[in-house]
């Protein structure tokens, strides 16, 4: 079992990280367990840039392998917005209920075939001072006309797939198709290949 610091204070993300990575042999340590609090300014213009900024900051603060993600909702009819600004959409202090209501209002009159959108997740792991691993995952869907479901967080209630919102899926169903699930599984494969290569070199 490999231990990594999850570069987030978001309890929902910590839960998903732990749930998805545990069967893959990766133990997730929360910053709280280490007594570490790191504030990272997300100045990147791309998800991958912000994920790297967070992973690097937590690696430097703890000296341990650090795993970060940056994710958001990209709506085609809005030119990809809110994108990297998903958490700050319509103000940092607005609730996700308010953010989703604003999003639905912006799409008023847009037919379903043009309401396509996707969640994107970029994963970055600073394994050591010389090794940075990156992976990405996407979850395609359409923006619903109203939020539905309670088993999710963020924009999950507003992104629909096959008639159900992401917040209406079970944990197992969500992990199988979610952007974060796909990105974390891709990362785990990359990590395994990296560690195997090191063993062969030694």
Considering only CA atoms, which of 51, 55, 65, 58 is closest in space to residue 137?
Answer: 51
CB 87: neighbour CB atoms within 10 A? 16
Parallel, antiparallel, or unpaired for β 26-29 and 116-128? Answer: unpaired
Enumerate the active-site residues. Answer: 70
CB 200: neighbour CB atoms within 10 A? 7
96's enclosing H/E stretch is: helix 96-106
- Residue pair 134/61 in contact (Cβ under 8 Å)? The answer is no
Q: Which two tokens stand for residue 163?
A: 């008639």
């Amino acid at each position: 079992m490999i231990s990594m610091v999850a570069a987030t204070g978001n309890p929902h993300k910590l839960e998903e990280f732990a749930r998805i990575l545990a069967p893959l042999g990766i133990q997730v340590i929360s910053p709280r367990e280490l007594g570490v609090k790191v504030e990272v300014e997300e100045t990147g213009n791309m998800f991958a840039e912000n994920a790297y900024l967070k992973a690097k900051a937590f690696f430097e603060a703890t000296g341990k392998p650090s795993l970060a993600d940056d994710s958001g909702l990209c709506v085609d009819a809005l030119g990809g917005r809110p994108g990297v600004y998903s958490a700050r959409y319509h103000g940092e202090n607005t609730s996700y209920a308010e953010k989703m209501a604003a999003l639905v209002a912006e799409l008023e009159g847009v037919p379903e075939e043009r309401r396509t959108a996707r969640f994107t997740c970029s994963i970055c792991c600073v394994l050591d001072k010389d090794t940075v691993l990156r992976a990405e995952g996407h979850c395609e869907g359409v923006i619903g006309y109203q939020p539905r479901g309670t088993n999710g967080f963020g924009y999950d209630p507003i992104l629909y797939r096959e008639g159900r919102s992401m917040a209406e899926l079970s944990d197992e169903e969500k992990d199988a198709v979610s952007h974060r699930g796909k990105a974390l599984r891709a990362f785990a494969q990359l990590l395994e290949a990296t560690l195997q290569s090191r063993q062969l070199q030694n």
